[in-house]
Amino acid sequence: MAVVSGGTTLIDNGTLDSAVPSGKLTLLSTQTASSSATIDFTSGIDSTYDSYVFKFINIHPSTDGDGSLTFQANASGGSGFNETMTTTYFRAYHTESDATATLLYDASKDIAQGTSYQILSANIGGDNDECGSGTLQIFNPSSTTFVKHFICSASTYHSNSAARNDFSAGYFNTTSAIDEISFKMDVGNIDSGTIKMYGVG
């Protein structure tokens, strides 16, 4: 236990200067959708940063009710965005009318050693004022020793006039470096919205 004089914090004292990471987000790339079938990040993911954060902002689908934002990856030298994943998925849901409020695990949206795209934000409404936003973080994608973990939290204006909070996490079951990430709707296109990629340093 560190002891410092009264009125002095550990930061002021210098005790934690080298122990606390800055956690600074460095913006590396921004892509804006316009009736886009996919939004792919095919450069800038390397060993420069230990983790990468993707912020998807006001994602609006081209279809109402069925469209869910999903993602996949390519290992270095790979193609097709079909890496093997094992994932979990749960969500909270509350309608505007207060008629339904639930918190549950949704096994229909997880993956067990599969290569499909993982759902991040489900059933985003397609009305003019409806969209979904959230944050996806991928840890140490350039490792050639360990699998590649990710975690995501998303807030959605659900097509049934409800607030929905989606939580997904898992890992790409490969020891190859991951260097490309793809986002798409599982039905239709991404009508509009922005996805930003940051390096965490």
pLDDT at 22: 58
H/E stretch holding 86: strand 85-95
Selection from 75, 64, 48, 25 nearest residue 196 by Cα: 25
Rounded alpha-carbon distances, angstroms, from residue 96 to 63, 120, 125, 126, 129: 21, 22, 14, 16, 14
Q: Where are the chain's structural domains?
A: 21-79+99-200
Buried b (16+ CB within 10 A) or exposed e, 154-168: bebbbbeebebbbbb
- Helix, strand or coil for residue 180? strand
Token look-up 């410092």 returns 4
Q: What angle do CA 26, 32, 36 make, to 5 degrees?
A: 135
Residue ranges of the chain with pLDDT lower than 50?
1-2, 4, 9-11, 15-21
> Model pTM?
0.88
Residue pair 88/153 in contact (Cβ under 8 Å)? The answer is: no
pLDDT digit string (tens) for 71-81?
999 999 999 99
The CB-side HSE value for 162 (13 A sphere, CA atoms) comes to: 19
pLDDT at 63: 86
Tally of CB atoms within 10 A around 143? 17
For the chain, the C-alpha Rg in angstroms (whole number) is: 19
Rounded alpha-carbon distances, angstroms, from residue 21 to 43, 50, 94, 118, 126: 25, 12, 37, 30, 40
CATH entry, 21-79+99-200, from 3.10.450, 2.60.120, 3.30.70, 2.30.30: 2.60.120
pLDDT at 7: 56
